């Protein structure tokens, strides 16, 4: 059975969708741990409730990026990580980690990449940009993480119609529903490709 480590920075609803998929036997994997850059977030409560180990590693608390990357790498090795899943993680993954886990880091993004991706495009900022541009559809994307924000190979997307009077919050809720379905399914398929 493969070990997944989830990275999250907030409420952890995508993290919960992975926990639920594992618990229901839909996702044949083990969640070995949660990495977060913030203490006291709901994602940590979700992990504790599911008896999943948590490690809070805030890059700002390290003297340099190298020592942060080393701590992160040590933790990932200790958990015997096969796959890393970014589920609302708002920090750039150090190049050292990307190098050590080639094609073994997935991310869910709340837009149809390559549109509305890259630095600064996260959370409600994405949905505001979609509405402002007058797009008729949006959605979410699961992709492989590389050293550039949101530029890795796309694995799957789910589309969502943008309604005429949508607020960013209303749109976000509908996109999030699709994220909760898409992410566990893509992880399941992707794990089959890992040796």
User: What is the C-alpha separation between 90 and 104, in angstroms, rounded?
Assistant: 18
User: What is the C-alpha separation between 171 and 78, in angstroms, rounded?
Assistant: 39
Tell me if 157 sits within 8 A of 112, measured CB to CB: yes
DSSP 87: S
Closest residue by Cα to residue 160 from 135, 133, 137, 130:
137
DSSP 127: H
Give Dmax over CA atoms of the chain in angstroms.
49
**Active-site residues: which are they?**
109
């Amino acid at each position: 059975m493969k070990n997944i480590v989830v990275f999250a920075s907030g409420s952890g609803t995508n993290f919960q969708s992975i926990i639920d998929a594992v618990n229901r036997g839909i996702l044949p994997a083990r969640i070995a741990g949660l990495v977060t850059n913030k203490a006291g977030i709901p994602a940590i409560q979700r992990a504790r409730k599911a008896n999943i180990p948590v490690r809070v590693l805030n890059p700002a608390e390290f003297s340099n990026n190298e020592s942060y990357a080393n701590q992160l790498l040590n933790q990932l090795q200790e958990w015997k990580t096969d796959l890393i899943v970014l589920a609302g993680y708002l920090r750039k993954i150090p190049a050292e980690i990307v190098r050590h886990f080639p094609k073994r880091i997935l991310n869910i993004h709340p837009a149809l990449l390559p549109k509305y991706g890259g630095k600064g495009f996260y959370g409600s900022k994405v949905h505001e940009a979609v509405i402002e541009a007058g797009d008729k559809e949006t959605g979410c994307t699961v992709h492989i993480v590389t050293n550039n924000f949101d530029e890795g190979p796309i694995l799957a997307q789910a589309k969502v119609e943008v309604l005429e009077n949508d607020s960013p919050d209303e749109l976000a809720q509908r996109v999030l529903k699709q994220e909760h379905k898409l992410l566990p399914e893509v992880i399941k398929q992707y794990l089959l490709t890992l040796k």
